[in-house]
Amino acid sequence: MNKKSKYPFEKSENTWKDELSPKEYKVLRDKGTESPFTGIFNDHYEKGTYLCKGCGTALFHSKSKFDSHCGWPSYDQSIEGTLEMIPDHSGGMIRTEIVCANCGGHQGHLFNDGPTKTGLRYCVNSASINFIKKPD
């Protein structure tokens, strides 16, 4: 979460702590990362939409999901306008952090090594998203 920015959807940190599990709070609010291959959406391929766990904003459609073999859910594109890209120089790396543009919740990182036409890999924590199945 980019604590310097204001977002349309805001809550107090105490409210976030009350509403999120400790793991979800660590990822969404403290920019944590879940261990690879542990998230419930890593090997999840139902049709539907992935939403920000913090505010419910739709971030990714299932058609953009692919198996990157990296241990986290990966997408080759996001729903336009739903993510903010922030330069991230932590951990001795140069990366692009992705946060929900509505609530500032940390989702993961964007890399330019995707195998699809976009060349992008949005690497996301399962702890930062929910899923709504597309009706049949």
> How far lies 25's CA from each of 10, 30, 45, 92, in Å?
14, 7, 25, 24
Per residue in 19-74, pLDDT (tens digit) is 999 999 999 999 999 999 999 999 999 999 999 999 999 999 999 999 999 999 99
Band the pLDDT of 3: cuts 50, 70, 90. Answer: low
- Domains and their CATH numbers in the chain: 13-133 (2.170.150.20)
Between CA 124 and CA 62 the distance in angstroms is: 13
Between CA 92 and CA 5 the distance in angstroms is: 24
Between CA 19 and CA 1 the distance in angstroms is: 16
Question: What pTM, to 2 d.p., does this model score?
Answer: 0.92
Band the pLDDT of 2: cuts 50, 70, 90. Answer: very low
Between CA 131 and CA 46 the distance in angstroms is: 9
What is the average pLDDT score of the chain? 94
Of 132 and 91, the structure prediction assigns the larger pLDDT to 132
Which amino acids are annotated catalytic? 123
